[in-house]
Structure 1
Amino acid sequence: MSGLSSQLLPVGYHSRPATTSDAPEVHRLVTACELALHGRAATGVDSVAADLGTPAAEAPSESVLLHDSAGGLAGWARVRGRRATVHVHPAHTGRGLGGLLLAWTEDRARRFGGDRLAQTVPDSDQAAVVLLRSGGYTPLVTEWLLEFAMPCEPDVPEPPAGVTVRAFEAGDERSVYQLTEDAFDEWQQRRKSYPEWARHTVELPTFDPAASPLAFAGDQLVGAVLSLDVPGDDEGYVERVAVRKDQRNRGIARVLLRESFLAFHRQGKRGCTLWTHSDTGALSLYERLGMTVRRSSTVYSKELAEG
Structure 2
Amino acid sequence: MPATGTDVRQHTPHMAPPDQAQLPAGLTTRPLTRSDAHAVFVLMVAQEQEDIGQVAIEEADIVSDWARPSHDLGARSVGVWDGETLVAYAELMGADRADTAVLPSHRGRGIGTWLAGWLQDLGRSLGSSIVGMPVPQGSPGDRLLEELGFRVRWTSWVLTLPEGTTIAERDLPEGYVVRTAAPDERRAAHDVLEDAFLEWSERDREAFEDFEASLVGRPGFEPWNLRVALDADGAVVGVSLVLVSEDGTTGYVDRLAVRRDQRNRGIAQALLVDSFARAREHGATTSELSTDSRTGALGLYERVGMVAGTIWVNRAVDLS
**Structure 2 counterpart of 1:268, from 272, 279, 283:** 283
The residue type paired with residue 122 of structure 2 is: R
Structure 1 segment 1-307 matched on structure 2, within 5 A:
1-56=15-70, 62-68=76-82, 70-80=83-93, 81-125=95-139, 127-151=140-164, 156-188=169-201, 189-218=203-232, 219-305=234-320
Give the Å deviation of 1:283.
1.1
Change (3 A) 1:13 1:60: closer
Between the aligned partners of 1:51 and 1:3, the Cα distance in structure 2 is: 23
Q: Give the total of aligned pairs.
A: 303
Between the aligned partners of 1:60 and 1:224, the Cα distance in structure 2 is: 33
Mark the runs of 5 or more structure 2 residues left unpaired by the alignment.
1-14
Mark the runs of 5 or more structure 1 residues left unpaired by the alignment.
none
**CA RMSD, aligned part only?**
2.2
Between the aligned partners of 2:115 and 2:64, the Cα distance in structure 1 is: 21
% identity of equivalent residues = 33
Change (3 A) 1:56 1:166: closer
Between the aligned partners of 1:302 and 1:228, the Cα distance in structure 2 is: 32
Between the aligned partners of 2:227 and 2:32, the Cα distance in structure 1 is: 36
Give the Å deviation of 1:190.
1.3
Residue deviations 1:263-284 (CA, integer Å, cap 9, x gap): 1122221111111111111111
Asked if the contact 1:211–1:261 (Cα under 8 Å) also holds between the matched residues in 2, the reply is no
Asked if the contact 1:227–1:238 (Cα under 8 Å) also holds between the matched residues in 2, the reply is yes
Between the aligned partners of 1:39 and 1:151, the Cα distance in structure 2 is: 24
Between the aligned partners of 2:268 and 2:70, the Cα distance in structure 1 is: 34
Between the aligned partners of 2:76 and 2:226, the Cα distance in structure 1 is: 32
Residue deviations 1:213-271 (CA, integer Å, cap 9, x gap): 32111111111111112321411111110101001011110011011111112222111
The residue type paired with residue 9 of structure 1 is: L
Give the Å deviation of 1:29.
0.9
Between the aligned partners of 2:72 and 2:39, the Cα distance in structure 1 is: 24
Greater alpha carbon shift after TM alignment, 139-148 vs 201-210: 201-210
Give the Å deviation of 1:118.
1.3
